[in-house]
Amino acid sequence: MDSNRMELHQLIYELFKRQIMFGVHHFEDTLPTMKEASEYFFVSVDTVRKAYLKLKQEGYITLSTGVGAVVSVRYGNRAIRRNIQNFFARRRTALFDLAHSTFPLLSYAQWVSLRYAAPEILDEVEAFCTAKNSPSPYRRVQQFLLIYNSLGNDLLIRLIWQMLLFLQAPFLSYSQNRNYFNGAGPLRDMVQLCRKKDWKALWNAIELFQRQFISALRLFYNERIPKGGGEQVEFDWSIYKESSQICYSLGLKLLHEIREDSILEGTYLSAPTKIAEDNGVSLNTVRRTISILNKLGATQTVNGVGTKVLSPLESVKNRNVTHPVIQNRLLTFAQCVQILTLSCRACAQMTAVSLTKFGINAWVNQLKKVKRSGQYEFMVYTCMEFISKFSPYQALQKSYAQLLEQLFWGYPLRDMHGTRESINAFYLPYLNGLINCLEQNELLDFSLILEQLMRKELEFTVNYLKDLGIPNVSAILVFDDEDITK
């Protein structure tokens, strides 16, 4: 996949392009101003400007200081129908896959977000639902994103944003599909349930909303979109805002190799020129990557010798958590822990149910391998890795694979639970519980234990990073234990 495809400006470009091709914006219509669009999508004006400039370069709009962005192409009804059919035919598999992935990935996050939403957010959601005029699809995207603000997680917002722009926004750009969301609808019902603090009914409403959306998508395809359509377009998402941040991806790759003992503690990394050649990146990128790993405490560069991989004790002593780059990476780590906490129960249960007996046994054997290693904390990585590989839906696999990588930014936090003895004492009851549940085929209990563990991990992580003085980590919501029962 083109590395630029999922950058922020590219997603906004794609949405407006489709809106023009689908007849949402007609010839000589004016698009939202750059400032308005930046507010709709929670991005900078510069990001919107990049999208608009690309639309202009490809002939979809004109740009002028006094008038703004004006549609410069004309599509007739036949062309619009053809554009819609071609677009959705090539995304049939991906859209249904993403629709089915949305519930395990986001349903609990939505429930927690609404439960903790400020009254003014609930008022805004309700006003949106009762508006006389049907808002444009990108205004709907904005409204959905507002619901999740109470979680304090920019990374989750980014994932939701890209899912909405890939699925809901194109779906709602077809005018007849908007009728599905007109009127008071399920969102207003959810707000009312929040005001009543009827959390069980709120959960049921979220489940119902998901089923209704999938039914509407299926009906749309059956009635409007012919089968076929050529090569299918897949859903993807990018943790990083710019493809130029490749040094982070390389850093994660090297951290993964250290974790898997492909690069042993006490040994030295390959020469920068060799790393650059093996990974197809510039020497400057490698140098930036090594600088990041040094600040993390994963490595230490010795002049005239090379870059040494440090032990856990040396890592803690050499980390530099005051550096802004490291603080941002640690914040990303904490945000990933929260996303995994919110989604792991549903995702783990769905994955386990889809596995054969052989697959369950393989999961058990991996957890037993962790137990034999004496490093019980790796059970978290092992469970999330299984979800990323064996979940029944590709969008879920890809999302978990991205999140799993980000856990390696927690490398300098390996002392979070204290000594090796205290680390193992903390994790052992969870590890034994997970193994026993899988062996007894008690899959619901297995997923509940995993979620309980992740909730503790989230609490430890946020509090630990607060003590380290990491900016913005206090915004990440740590929810109460009672929330686990709905």
pLDDT in tens, the chain (486 residues): 333 445 778 888 988 998 999 998 999 999 999 998 888 777 889 999 999 999 999 999 999 988 899 999 999 999 999 999 999 999 999 999 999 999 999 999 999 999 999 999 898 888 877 766 555 666 666 777 778 888 999 899 888 888 888 888 888 777 777 665 554 467 888 999 999 999 999 999 999 989 988 999 999 999 999 887 778 888 887 665 454 577 888 888 898 888 777 888 899 999 999 999 999 989 999 999 999 999 999 999 999 899 999 987 788 888 898 999 899 989 999 999 999 999 999 999 999 999 999 999 999 999 999 999 998 988 999 999 999 999 999 999 999 998 988 888 887 787 677 888 999 999 999 999 999 999 999 999 999 999 999 999 999 999 999 999 999 999 999 987 555 444
Cβ–Cβ under 8 Å, residues 400 and 387:
yes
3-class SS string, 92-107: HHHHHHHHHHHHHHHH
Which pair of tokens denotes residue 72? 């410069």
pLDDT for the residue numbered 149: 85
268 φ, ψ (degrees, to nearest 5): -115, 145
**pLDDT score at 166:** 86
- At 157 the pLDDT is 87
> Where would I find the H helices in 148-245?
154-166, 168-173, 185-196, 199-224
Residue that has been written with the tokens 């997603």 in this structure: 11
**pLDDT at site 241:** 46
Cβ–Cβ under 8 Å, residues 296 and 319:
yes
* Closest C-alpha to 312, from 419, 406, 210, 233: 419
**Taking the model in full, what pTM does it have?**
0.88
Distance of alpha carbon 262 from alpha carbon 230, whole angstroms: 41
Q: Which of 188, 193, 308 is nearest to 258 (CA)?
A: 308
Q: Is the dihedral of CA 16, 20, 25, 30 positive or negative?
A: positive
Q: What is the pLDDT of residue 163?
A: 87
Q: What confidence score (pLDDT) does residue 240 get?
A: 56
Closest residue by Cα to residue 486 from 211, 213, 214, 197: 197
Residue 255 token pair: 């951290």
Helix residue ranges, H only, 58-91: 77-89
CA 358 to centroid of chain Cα atoms:
30
Residue-wise DSSP of 315-333: HHHH--TTSHHHHHHHHHH
Alpha helices by DSSP H, 407-442: 420-439
Q: What is the pLDDT of residues 31-56, one digit of tens each?
A: 999 998 888 777 889 999 999 999 99
| Start-to-end CA span in the chain (Å) | 40
Angle of CA points 46, 403, 40, to nearest 5°: 30
Whole-number pLDDT of residue 46 = 94
